[in-house]
Chain A
């Protein structure tokens, strides 16, 4: 039993097979040879340096020499890791596909998770083996002094982390590729920019500064702990997400395939929001500029969600998925599955990430000169803050509209396009009317003012520089009721209600009391499959041969 658990958790049978096959491959011999060449090169450099020291009459071996050798070696190791290992990882699954063994593996007792874990650990083991080939020599070098053995070991661990990340992303790249050619083309695409960055950083650190990467990272953490935390967590999360994504890519269950994508989208927005909050807030001193920038950011970043909101209804949200018989992570992940009301709720969940951007406290005194009326400035800030939330509600209203269209049967692209175009036309119409009739200010006609929040934003922000807009700005500013927000809230309610009505009418309920699967959350069946009984009498379904042969 213990053995079975071990095999299940680590994918041991896959590790054994992959390592065994790898040892027999020519490419494996080439990789080992390359590594030995790297070490030989480093040692040659060391010998050259040694000779020059002797000719200068200095000591036989200086500590500076050791540091140079170790730095050069570590840089070369990073170079090899970044250049060779992505290709090793990128072909792991595509090789099985091209050798026609993949379908055989998928019909064994190994689960998709076990297959990916086995592939991953086999890859990491291969890379570690290659890295550790030369490690004893490096340890001997450090014994000559000048470099701390502990520092080298920590640096090795950092390189191992890089290898672990490369293998995770490589497995994802390989799972994505249907054919071997796709894997070869996809691997550089996945790795080009991050690897170039790593090589540049390693070159600068090891060769330029003669220091360790870990030291650089520590320094970065000391200077900016939050930025360090965001970077490291993004690194770890992207590796984990890559593995989860690979598992779901090879899984035959439809709804699960969207899970890593949605999780990735959420993580992307989370990091964008966090980065925006952290960097923009600290770098934009003026409250006026801040709210302008964040409002534009939310407007721009929210629109790509239209396609998710307007997606096909697919599977209703099962209420039982939130029951206590499901594990807590499964209940949390239920929101990340596609279909029905979840499409809209997922978009709203992402919009919630933007709320902190509007809650940032801006110091009015630093934004304006001392002789300005502070209460007026504070009111300006409050107004702008409200305007930001108006934009947030506007995005939510457009998303609701797109979701409603999706429930009506429109495709995701059509829903997104129509929802956006309708609002764009409203905005343009408002602009034309405002220009044509000077008296036609939105502020005097709240029903028009409510239609297009972005228009209001442009107009109000523009009023500070263009005098002709001053009247509108003042009047709007003085109004105590934010009619546009109310209108947008109303839109959200109406379109959500209409969407629910349409989906019920189309017999595609948004919520279901039925459990989507006996196996729990991770099997999310289309309703028509779950409804069909296997004991249906076939007699009525037999084709009439006489008819058919005619």
Chain B
């Protein structure tokens, strides 16, 4: 067993389908107890990587370790620690919610009274309590996603692999699902989720991996990536109390570290190339010249901007 804080370790992973290299020598770690976003355009290799992690696909080379165990040598042990939710949730038409959960509990070797208590726990967590007798087929897409998540939680896995869990959900279901994922993190689970909807991921993810054409183009905590992306340049937005009568642009041009990006009424935006503390000079310069600053805020790149900067849109 590995003593590393990483629950998931991917090393030099490559998977090909004929001549197509779906995943090309990628490596990354995911730490315990975090929500890790796995982002990439269609055909980038997200689902292939997820399938290898979930013991469903054999790689050409490289390896994946979950909790220190290789997915190829210990697939059964890994399945007991891992909950997998595929991008297309399959349901058995004809089974009720309770029967569905009962079957998956038996399939995960949970018997007797333990089975009952585990089912009631996951039902409570996922909010399926009122739907136990409903046929799975009649559930809405959001509820099916919840049901599938419930079945992945039955064996109390440490790591949850969710492939596009929010796709096709309406806004309410999306928000509810997001809350559910945050609740899982509070319970100490590690969540590895892929998604196209970046605005959904940025508020909940602790770290991300961005993949394109089978290669990881960025990996790490979101703040770290943002810092690296900024390359020492920080954006600020300033709002003045009154419309400036004088030429602010000429005034600010005195500061060599400042690059003015936009002026619109009382607002203007600039980039500061240097230590963030140096921005005080802007405040000072404006105050000396009679400008009253109403607010000044630091602007950070959001996940969408990072994604757009790092990816080229190339498909395999």
Contact = CB atoms under 8 A, between A and B. Distances in A.
A109 B72 contact: no
Contact of B94 (A3, A25, A107, A545): A25
Given A104-B151, A252-B55, A532 B62 contact: yes
Nearest to A106: B56
A538 B28 contact: yes
Given A254-B58, A541-B27, A548-B217, A523 B73 contact: yes
Contacts of B228: 545-546
Interface stretch (A16-24, A34-42, A240-248, A501-509): A16-24
Given A7-B109, A252-B55, A534-B11, A101 B90 contact: yes
Which of A14, A96, A526 has its CB near the most chain B CB atoms (within 10 A)?
A526
A3 B111 contact: yes
Contacts of A366: none
A83 B2 CA distance: 55
A517 B73 contact: yes
A105 B107 contact: yes
B255 to A, nearest CB: 25
A327 to B, nearest CB: 18
A518 B56 contact: no
B218 A545 contact: yes
A545 B58 CA distance: 29
Which of B55, B73, B91 has its CB near the most chain A CB atoms (within 10 A)?
B73
Contacts of B99: 20
Interface size range of chain A in the complex = 35 or more
A4 B86 contact: no
A525 interface: yes
B42 interface: no
A103 B99 CA distance: 19
Interface string A91-118: 0000010011111111111110000000
A99 B79 contact: no
A252 B219 contact: no
A8 to B, nearest CB: 8
A438 interface: no
Given A536-B27, A548-B217, A549-B309, A104 B86 contact: yes
Contacts of A538: 27-29
Contacts of B76: 109, 111
Contacts of B70: 529, 534
A549 B111 CA distance: 53
B84 A529 contact: no
B105 to A, nearest CB: 9
Interface string B51-67: 10011111111110100
A535 interface: yes
A39 B91 CA distance: 36
B153 interface: no
A110 B109 CA distance: 8
Interface in B224-244: 225, 228-229, 231
A105 B108 CA distance: 10
Contacts of A96: 90
A107 B56 CA distance: 7
A96 B57 CA distance: 18
Interface in A515-550: 517-519, 523, 525-526, 528-529, 532-536, 538, 541-543, 545-546, 548-549
Interface size range of chain B in the complex = 35 or more
A109 B109 contact: yes
A525 B59 CA distance: 10
A253 interface: yes
A210 interface: no
A20 B103 CA distance: 11
A538 B207 CA distance: 15
A543 B217 contact: yes
Contact of B4 (A25, A253, A535): A535
A519 B62 contact: no
Nearest to A23: B94
A238 interface: no
Contacts of B54: 103, 107
Contacts of B119: none
Interface string B79-104: 11011101011111111000100011
Contacts of A110: 107
B2 A534 contact: yes
A103 B84 contact: yes
Which of A101, A102, A517, A534 has its CB near the most chain B CB atoms (within 10 A)?
A534
A16 B92 CA distance: 13
A13 interface: yes
A140 B51 CA distance: 56
Interface string A297-314: 000000000000000000
Contact of A519 (B29, B73, B90, B151): B73
B82 A542 contact: no
Given A106-B56, A523-B72, A532 B109 contact: no
Interface string B1-42: 010100001011000000000000001110000000000000
Nearest to B84: A107
Which of B70, B84, B229, B231 has its CB near the most chain A CB atoms (within 10 A)?
B70
B163 to A, nearest CB: 10
A36 B58 CA distance: 48
B240 to A, nearest CB: 33
A252 B73 contact: no
Interface in B191-216: 215-216
B74 A100 contact: no
B310 interface: yes
A365 B225 CA distance: 92
B68 interface: yes
Contacts of A549: 229, 309-310
Contact of B88 (A24, A100, A108, A528): A100
B56 A13 contact: no
Contacts of B59: 529
A525 B62 CA distance: 11
Given A16-B106, A107-B84, A529 B151 contact: no
Contacts of B107: 13-14, 105, 108-110
Contacts of B151: 104
B136 to A, nearest CB: 10
Contact of B220 (A102, A542, A548): A542
A100 B27 contact: no
Contacts of B58: 252-254
Nearest to A98: B90
A252 B57 contact: yes
Contacts of A536: 11, 27
A478 to B, nearest CB: 58
A532 B72 contact: no
Given A3-B111, A529-B59, A535-B4, A107 B82 contact: yes
Contacts of B88: 100
Given A252-B75, A549-B310, A535 B2 contact: yes
Contacts of B155: 109
22 contacts: A12-B106, A20-B99, A99-B90, A101-B92, A103-B84, A103-B90, A107-B83, A108-B104, A109-B108, A111-B76, A518-B73, A523-B72, A523-B73, A529-B59, A529-B70, A538-B28, A541-B27, A543-B217, A545-B217, A545-B229, A548-B310, A549-B309
Query: Which 8 A-B residue pairs are closest in the complex by CB-CB distance?
Result: A100-B90, A101-B90, A13-B106, A108-B107, A534-B65, A24-B94, A107-B84, A100-B88
Given A20-B94, A106-B55, 17 more contacts: A13-B106, A16-B103, A25-B94, A101-B92, A103-B51, A107-B55, A109-B155, A253-B72, A254-B58, A517-B73, A528-B62, A529-B62, A532-B12, A535-B2, A545-B229, A545-B310, A548-B310
Interface of A: 3-4, 7, 12-14, 16-17, 20-21, 24-25, 96, 99-111, 252-254, 517-519, 523, 525-526, 528-529, 532-536, 538, 541-543, 545-546, 548-549
